[in-house]
Chains A and B, each alone.
Chain A
Amino acid sequence: MYSYNPIDQSIVDARVDEFRDQVRRYRAGEIEENEFLQLRLRNGLYLQRHAYMLRVAVPYGTLSSDQLRRLGHIARTYDKGYAHFTTRQNIQFNWPELDDVPDILAELAAVQMHAIQTSGNCVRNTTADHLAGVAGDELEDPRPWCEMIRQWSTLNPEFNWLPRKFKIAVTGAREDRAAIAYHDIGLKLVRHSETQETGFEVWVGGGLGRTPVIGKVVRRWLEPADLLSYIDAILRVYNTEGDRKKKFRARIKILVRRLGVDVFAERVEAEFSKIKEGPLKITAEQLARFKAHFPAPAYAEGLGEKSGERLDERLDEGLDARQSPLPKGADPVHYQRWLTHNVGAHKVPGYAVVTVSLKSEDRAPGDITAEQLGALADLADTFSFGEIRSTHLQNLILPDVETGRLGELYQALLAHDLATPNIGLLTDQIACPGLDFCNLGSASSLSVAADLSQRFAGQEKLYQIGAVSVKMSGCVNACGHHHAGHIGILGVDKKGEQAFQIMLGGDAGNAPSLGRWLGPALAPDEVAEAVETLGDVYLKERQAEETFLDTVRRLGVQPFHDGVYGRGDSA
């Protein structure tokens, strides 16, 4: 993974010093409330319903064991002993004291982490495919490019005060696991049809929130050397022409819609042509320097049973005792479920990708205790070359585990309540903090998430229903991405009462789609049962190998509506 040089370190250290000084001047009454708000947001610090919340950047979802250990230390020392992974691969602390935050930032800087621009109207942390570097379907590793974007965007002098927040995601794989269509800029590494060179397809203007929009391709092919110049040009057009008067019209998606993607693209090209050969051009030497930060780990050779055998083929058949013997004393059903759902294919024979579920009955989706952070850091050292990934689905990943050691790892994870076998299933839901923590929340998304978890935990039906993404937001701002869930759940306030609306058919993959409303809002205690009904309708109606999403796409909302509301009731 990327390691800081002395200059990178000096920038992060100076940022800590700057924020310490800003807190001092704020406490002395020298910075007004509204200005301090903007300054602290750009250091990841929100003021929530009960307390401050600090959002720490996990650049493109990559963490070292030392960093994870330090996050555990911070949770223990400055918070209530836990932390929360977000839908943009970041981590949040929910209870820091303002006067401790400079010290927390210094603790982070000591392990090459920061909270720079994790909030505010600026370029946020760049996210990426959480299987970068280990996926079999990868054309090129996106992480070196993400790190370049991180550096370009960090304290960028021109784009620190944009009309609204700005999010960039990058994928280098055939299957989009980074949801690029729902980002302000989505970047996809592609191969040129003639030259076979690798470059970028550039998407712009996607986003969820109050006005969900699937992004549009603004450039089919971009020379990789021009990446920073081109996104700089996009930001320049947005910075001067984006709407600054109305907050809900300020995202770039509204500008792209107003101008039309062709006119927008022309304006970007005009800017791009002026700066293309300038200091943002990436030289071959620079690219090599960044790529050198992401070498493959020292994989053991010859672990695959047959040379060239693909693990995903074996995984499709279900890993069995031959590859990973049943650990002593383990529940064979639970272990097989874990192998089936939490263990994925790796590009190197003999290795697997293990997803650590942060979804279980007794926690909010994405929550992790200080003890678990520390334990996982040790497990990463023992089993996965000291590396951990965070996913935008609020789970963690050990990316490089020998298949022969899966049983051993399973038992260790189980001991720390980190082996819930539910990845990709209904209870692997994502949810925003909602009314319980957030100032904006209209309804308690976490309570409904807990209902769902409890209803399905360990149930055979969970496994019969199979792959479903459930995404839940506690208000229309859509931090829980409900429009992009196969089942989307939106909390609203109906005349002082909490209520939940359900959407069906959203997706964030290669064929992105926005969900459609199922029917009238439900009371909070009706949601889990309604979701089970949706599963029942699918089990009854599905054909052959259809997934839940396939069936929804084939049949539309109607049969699901009828299942939940009864046939006579109109939406």
Chain B
Amino acid sequence: MNAPQSLSLQAFTLLHLDLSVEASPTEAGLQIDPELTSSVPDLSNLIQSADHPSLIAVKIAVFSDGRAHTVAMRLRRDLGFTGGLRAVGDVGVDHLHYLARVGFDAFLLRQGTNVDDARAALTRFPKYYVGVQTQSLTSA
């Protein structure tokens, strides 16, 4: 259903949400394309068929497609996935805090991204709304 993509990982920079972690870009065990799989039952089947991977990559075909965000919410909240969740594809500086707040903990930044700008983007907002409560990114 979701053939692993042949991303040239060297061209990208992997940024971990915990900015102190120097993560190395390795292929994720399971790659999910929200275009093909986004419902909870389908996501659940996929995880089971992949023998409960410890790392899932979700493809972001284009930054303006928000389906990956709901997929991440469903993996984390509805299916209780606690492994690594990586955003891959069209991932740039200005999308990171949204992705981080739906449950991604690592981002394969698109080519040419300035990592300092990316780090700044993840620390700019002291708090965010969750409904009418507020939360900081690190405690999310």
Contacts and interface: CB of A to CB of B under 8 A. Distances in A.
Contacts of B55: none
Given A22-B94, A239-B70, A157 B101 contact: yes
B129 A154 contact: yes
Contacts, number: 107
B52 interface: no
Contact of A14 (B117, B125, B130, B133): B125
Interface residues of B, number: 38
Contacts of A38: 63-64
| Most interface-central of A10, A148, A240, A282 (chain B CB within 10 A) | A240
A155 B101 CA distance: 10
Nearest to B133: A279
A244 B38 CA distance: 14
Nearest to B99: A157
Contacts of A35: 63, 92, 94
Contacts of A192: none
A240 B67 contact: yes
A15 B92 CA distance: 17
Contacts of A121: 64
Interface stretch (A77-85, A159-167, A211-219, A479-487): A159-167
B38 A240 contact: yes
A14 B132 contact: no
A159 B66 CA distance: 7
Interface in B9-53: 34, 38-39
A280 interface: yes
* Residues of B contacting A: mostly: mixed
Interface residues of A, number: 42
Given A18-B124, A35-B92, A158 B129 contact: no
Given A35-B94, A282-B132, A14 B66 contact: no
Given A240-B70, A279-B131, A280-B131, A157 B63 contact: no
Contacts of A228: 131-132
Contacts of B100: 157
B70 A39 contact: no
A155 to B, nearest CB: 6
Contacts of A14: 124-126
Interface in A1-58: 7, 10-11, 14-15, 17-18, 21-22, 25, 30-31, 35, 38-39
A157 B98 contact: yes
A290 B132 contact: yes
A544 B80 CA distance: 66
B94 to A, nearest CB: 6
Contacts of A25: 93, 117
Nearest to B93: A25
Interface string B83-125: 0000000001110011111100000000000100100110011
Interface in A281-306: 281-282, 286, 290
A126 to B, nearest CB: 13
A22 B77 CA distance: 32
Contacts of B129: 11, 151-152, 154-156
Contact of B98 (A30, A160, A281, A290): A160
A161 B132 contact: no
B98 A10 contact: no
Contacts of B99: 157
A274 interface: yes
A191 interface: no
A159 B72 CA distance: 12
Contact of A157 (B65, B67, B94, B102): B102
Contacts of B71: 240
B2 to A, nearest CB: 16
A236 interface: yes
Contacts of B63: 35, 38, 161
Nearest to A149: B132
A239 B93 CA distance: 22
B61 to A, nearest CB: 10
Contacts of A162: 66
Nearest to B90: A35
Contacts of A30: 114, 117
A160 B39 CA distance: 19
A254 B34 CA distance: 21
A62 B39 CA distance: 39
Contact of B127 (A7, A156, A240): A7
A157 B97 contact: yes
A17 B94 CA distance: 12
A30 B78 CA distance: 37
A25 B92 CA distance: 12
B69 interface: yes
Interface of B: 34, 38-39, 63-67, 69-71, 73, 77-78, 92-94, 97-102, 114, 117, 120-121, 124-134
Ranked nearest first, the 4 interchain pairs of A and B with the lowest CB-CB distance are A161-B66, A157-B101, A280-B131, A157-B98
13 contacts: A11-B126, A18-B121, A152-B129, A155-B125, A157-B98, A160-B98, A161-B69, A161-B98, A162-B66, A239-B66, A240-B70, A278-B77, A286-B132
